[in-house]
Amino acid sequence: MNETLIALREAEVNESIMIDASHGNSQKQFKQQLPVIENISSQISSGNKNIKGVMIESHLVEGNQKISDSLVYGQSITDACIGWDDTVSCLQSLSDAVTKRRSS
């Protein structure tokens, strides 16, 4: 993230960052988004104001599936995703972090 901030500063553009919790940051292991979100939450609660958004690969049912005649409702047919319960946990963690940052 520091490299990104430096590049934005040198380009004299807004230093707002949106972080993708999936893909490279989770080594393409969808469950690894959870510790990524915890790290982001920690940065936010510690006062980081550059983080303006987070992208999470999320769906109702975790994992993914191949297109077939018998699809599972609410499960991704593309990238593997965290499920609803983990999504709620991630969003709560981020919300708590923002609340803490605002109260500091």
Residue 23 DSSP SS3:
helix
| Rg, Å, the chain Cα set | 16
Q: What is the pLDDT along the chain (104 residues), one digit of tens a residue?
A: 889 999 999 999 999 999 999 999 999 999 999 999 999 999 999 999 999 999 999 999 999 999 999 999 999 999 999 999 999 999 999 999 999 999 98
Q: Rounded to 5 degrees, what are φ and ψ at 62?
A: -70, 160
Domain that holds residue 63: 2-103
In the prediction, which pLDDT does 73 show?
A: 98
In the prediction, which pLDDT does 65 show?
A: 98
In the prediction, which pLDDT does 16 show?
A: 96
This prediction's pTM: 0.91
**Structural domain count of the chain:** 1
